[in-house]
Amino acid sequence: MTTTHPQIFVNLPVKDLDRSVKFFTALGYAFNPAFTDENATCMILGENLFAMLLVEKYFATFTTKPVSDAGKSTEVLVALPMESREAVDEIVAKAVAAGGTTPREAIDHGFMYGHGFEDLDGHVWEVFHMSGEPPQE
């Protein structure tokens, strides 16, 4: 039997919820008001794909481990496919214009083009477009 899930909710700690909402709104993302209050918001990434942005103090109530500082260390890379190379470049440009940074230059593997950005809290968002299958050995 294979394990599958109908949805995914990635939970990320943020220092300033309002600032994070403004940042991701500038990138074109929407939020579900039913899961939004002063402690958290539900960012809609796609059909059944969500990122919960939780104020650090609230995020800490869900774990017994220290909350990582994403500006100093990496625990997760969120990778999101885009519909085209242009869409990859466009969202990275929007992120930079909204105050984010790019951790590296774009990479072209032929069959896949990728780039990424760091949000205001240092979380890394990898965005990519696949135009073919990876080379077979």
State yes or no: pLDDT of 104 exceeds 90: yes
CA–CA distance, 116 with 102 (Å, rounded to integer): 6
Indicate if 1 and 46 belong to the same structural domain: yes
Give CA separation, 92 vs 68, 127, 135, in Å.
24, 8, 26
Residue 68 lies in a domain: no
Q: How far is CA 135 from CA 73, 109, 121, in A?
A: 32, 10, 35
- The total domain count for the chain is 2
Give domain status of residue 117, yes or no: yes
Residue 95 lies in a domain: yes
Mean predicted lDDT score pLDDT of the chain = 95
Give pLDDT, residue 31: 98
- Which residue among 28, 61, 94 closes a domain? 61
pLDDT in tens, 52-92: 999 999 999 999 999 999 989 988 999 999 999 999 999 99
CATH of the domain at 54: 3.10.180.10
Residue 66 within any structural domain of the chain: no
Is 103 within a domain? Answer: yes
Domain match, 56 and 78 both: no
Long-range contacts of 107-114 (CB under 8 A, 24+ apart): 109/134, 110/135, 111/135, 113/85, 113/88, 114/88
Q: Two tokens at 17? A: 């919820």
CA 117, chain centre distance (Å): 9
> What integer pLDDT is reported at residue 1 of this predicted model?
85
Q: Is the pTM of this model over 0.85?
A: yes
Whether residues 83 and 117 share a domain: the answer is: yes
Dihedral angle at the C-alpha atoms of 21, 128, 91, 55, nearest 10 degrees? 10
| Domain extent for 78 | 73-137
Q: Final residue of a domain: which of 37, 61, 85? A: 61
Quick one: pLDDT at residue 75? Answer: 86
Instruction: Compute the average pLDDT of residues 90-102.
Output: 98
In terms of domains, do 7 and 53 share one?
yes
Residues 9 and 55 in one domain: yes
